[in-house]
Chains A and B, each alone.
Chain A
Amino acid sequence: MYWVSIVTEAGIFAILALGLDVIWGWAGDFDLMFYGYLALGSYMTFVLTIGKPTPPVEYIIGGHLPVLVSMVVAIAVVVAFAAIIGAIALRNLREIYFAVTTLGAVSALYLIVENYTPLFDGYNGVYGLINPGQTALNLTYNGYRILLLVVVLLLLALAYLLVQRLSRSPFGRMLRSVREDERAAAAYGRNVFFSKYRAYLFGAAFAGLAGGLFAIFVSAFNPSAWTPQELLVIYAAILVGGRGNPRGVILGVFVIYIGLIELTRFLPSPASRPDFGPALRQVLIGLMIILMLRFRPQGFFPERPGVDPGPRPAGRRPWRLRVPAMAASSDTAAASPATTPASPEAASARQAADEGGAG
């Protein structure tokens, strides 16, 4: 059952990462609010399903909906919330300014949820969503957990197919043009804000779904479950797998998530320092981000470029062939500096250019 639990959790985070990759990998927006959407989806699924609170516990709504209906409503709430945040943050802010604004938004959300108890019972959080539907399905506890794993993996497969389809569509290509050069995209008729906005809402819907699944998975949820470090793991997974490549992203999550937990599980944990394992995990993640950015910023499965398989076969080494106009002029200067670095300086300049493009 240990493995069922680990794989289920990784599957949920893979769905989350697919959504984040649309926002960061395709549209290029480094969103720090994202884990807040998972939390909101989780909280909403709880309060719509677990019924009225008994004092002194307090939270909003207290509905008695079937859990699947709750999850759909939760996704809608998350998307609506993202619509507000995105409308403000994506309008004019980019890169670090956008990141800081979304960090501010998630910090505000965190403080409000933690301190304003009528919302989701503050620091105590919400609980009591224990295997909803288990008796109706006539399953044992373990049978239910295996069913949950199957459902999560099915939803992940569905999410993957959806994202993969969009990734190769004109919509995905348009988003990437906005990421690569916003002004050129606008000069060619793309509404930059609206493009990014659509990606943002689409990504947030994935976070809402992941939040709902997470609620069922953990059966209790409070502010300690969504500290800012959690998002770093997801970003690290995308970076390792390959930003903009859905297959890479899923693989990255499974490798990082399961790999890290397994690696640190058997380490001796000093009794005086019970937080040694989790702390070491953070260090390893930080180290991995640095190493990836230095040596393979595009990830192990880089974004797949849109190639033309058409009738004209591509040249064996196409960068060697120069356009006639260039070939007629001074020869070495015309050779592409990106593929034939003449000096260490040129090589490091290319490195910098590559990293700039990826980060």
Chain B
Amino acid sequence: MSYRLKPFVLFIFIGILFISFPWSNTQRTVKAFSDQVIQQGAEGDDVIELQARLQYLGFYNGKIDGVFGWGTYWALRNFQYEFGLDVDGLAGAGTKQKLVKASQYDKQFVKEQIRKGNDFNYYGGMDNNQQTSENEDDQDTASSSTTASVNVPQGYSQNDITLMANAVHGEARGEPYVGKVAVAAVILNRVESSTFPNTISGVIFEPRAFTAVSDGQIWLTPDESARKAALDAINGWDPTGNALYYFNPETATSSWIWSRPQIKKIGKHIFCK
């Protein structure tokens, strides 16, 4: 009895495999976009699809990088205008439906190109393989990120953020998160101030300005929270209330620093004007 059942069960099992596999595949290619309304500043797979489809139709000439920037914004608005939709720069349900109808999206090709870091285009009516040039130094193709660009605050580069994260980590590791944002905010307040250098690197490397720089601790690898703190400060958060100096009352050696008007204490540091 049990012997006879086994092949039967196996048969059903294989059958399910055969049925479910192609089905889930077609599902993936037919169902485009997720439900979200895509707006400027977004990043991720939906943005990649949006850019690819807009490029397929010839509206978008920029890089397909998965970050919804100004270029994508204008392309989307032009598309909405040409197709008689509300011109609002938002990819909502109606817009996405029109896009899917009008264009094709070879997800595998596009994702592959991004993963390899290739320079490529995705215009409709052209052979895909003619629109890509292989990245020469692609020994290391296992990049973890799915987008080829990242959002950065206006006027800053990722490197500026890294440099700040280094300084924040060296100066304020072990402090609560807000204490890290505070140190980053002081660096930026100094850049703004007319009595300090005008660049982030100028402020950080000003001789004897930060102990972590003088003793080399700035070159410790910053953790994720230092990086987030730097980004928060750049985006406008200043928990110090516009401070230009801070010191640790337990280790401060200069009596001058005590004469500065104090604003508040965060963690171990006292922040002052």
Binding between chains A and B: no
Q: Which residues of A contact B (CB under 8 A)?
A: none
